[in-house]
Amino acid sequence: MQSSATELAGRALELPELAHAGTVAAYVSVGSEPGTLALLDALRARGVRVLLPALLPDNDLDWGAYAGQDSLERVQHGGKMALFEPGGERLGPDAVTGADVVLLPGLAVDARGMRLGRGGGSYDRVLARLERAGARPPLVVLLYDTEVVERVPEEPHDRPVHAVVTPSGVRRFG
């Protein structure tokens, strides 16, 4: 798992979008998701401001700045899995609209760039918030190679992502 996290971080750090980003909205991987801590630390070492989500009771996301692994708090949300969230000041749900790049979790991405999430709608709200604000940051999903599939189910509100990064490479969409 650690080697795939390192490979994933290396691939993501090669993205031109991340090379010039001042602020990146990201997340801390949980469960079997590809590890993101190596990437978060590398971005921070580059001087990038990394925003991490904090789950709100209505499944929307607030945001806080990442200040290193020691600053993360393990938060149990009801019957859901525990999440690692940023300690410190909350910046509000609209903080994501200032991100130069948004890194998204997912269960799968298909050949059209449609992302399958966990079903809670948190990132659907983020994407709708970006659209309302007129913000158009590149949307990049971090996955394992086997999670790039032919087709995922799609709802009318779903929006395609711009790229998927896996340990073996980057795939871009329309």
pLDDT of residue 132: 96
Return the HEC string of the chain: CHHHHHHHHHHHHCCHHHHCCCEEECCCCCCCCCCCHHHHHHHHHCCCEEEEEEECCCCCEEEEECCCHHHEEEECCCCCCCEEEECCCCCCHHHHHHCCEEEECCCEEECCCCEECCCCCHHHHHHHHHHHHCCCCCEEEECCHHHEECCCCCCCCCCCCCEEEECCEEEECC
pLDDT of residue 81: 73
pLDDT of residue 158: 85
Question: Whole-model pTM above 0.85?
Answer: yes
Average per-residue pLDDT for the chain: 93
CATH superfamily assigned to domain 2-172: NagB/RpiA/CoA transferase-like (3.40.50.10420)
Q: Residue ranges of the domains in the chain?
A: 2-172
pLDDT of residue 70: 96
In this prediction, the residues of the chain whose per-residue pLDDT falls under 70 are 1-2
